[in-house]
Homo-oligomer: A and B are copies of this chain.
Amino acid sequence: MAEILPAHMIEGVVRGVYRAPDTFVTTPVEVLSLTYAGIPGDVHSGLYRQSGAREPWYPRGTPMRNERQLSILSAEELAEVATTLAIPVLEPEWIGGNLLLTGIPQLSLLPPRSILMFPSGAAIRIDGDNGPCRHSGRSIAEHVPGRPDLELGFVQAARHKRGLVGWVEREGEVRAGDVVRIRVWEQKLYAG
């Protein structure tokens, strides 16, 4: 059997919480209330959603469970991407982030099934890494005058640094300053 890494816990800190009331771009909020359907009033909330370009194996618009309720970003990874793109800053709001975390190495590589646990009892189950798309790149370009190249540049620069998507496993509140405890499950590569 291939190499097996044991399960372990890691910790980080919530730096900011954001909601997308009507557009893709998010806005800072004081408290993020998580329900089983995601963030109430957020454009990505819902127990269910329709499939899109990210699921080419389903006909476009197919009803499916919504495993992409939340976008979770790393402050360190955003800074790295900003450096690569030669821009002063990349704000989490520009690319629709709901949670900005800090202190977790290579957040975007956290394995699917990982569980993010917050002091209120709220918990998020990770579906997996979020592939960077031109839609996000365009939003960045709209915030940085004179840099239309960022639309495509982001897709390249943010590979494995665009954070995670996940769904609410336990309801509760999340605030900036919260410590987040993360369960990483036993890992092994599948060669079958």
Contact = CB atoms under 8 A, between A and B. Distances in A.
Contact of A109 (B57, B168, B192): B192
Contacts of A123: 58, 64
Interface residues of A, number: 45
A168 to B, nearest CB: 7
Given A117-B57, A123-B64, A110 B1 contact: no
A192 B106 contact: yes
Given A36-B65, A112-B185, A105 B192 contact: yes
Contacts of A117: 57
- Oligomeric state, in copies: 2
A58 B109 contact: no
Interface string A129-156: 0000000000000000000000000000
A113 interface: yes
A112 B126 CA distance: 10
Given A57-B117, A113-B128, A3 B65 contact: no
B3 A189 contact: yes
Interface of A: 1, 3, 5, 10, 36, 47-48, 57-58, 62-65, 67, 104-107, 109-113, 115, 117, 121, 123, 125, 127-128, 160, 167-171, 183-185, 187-192
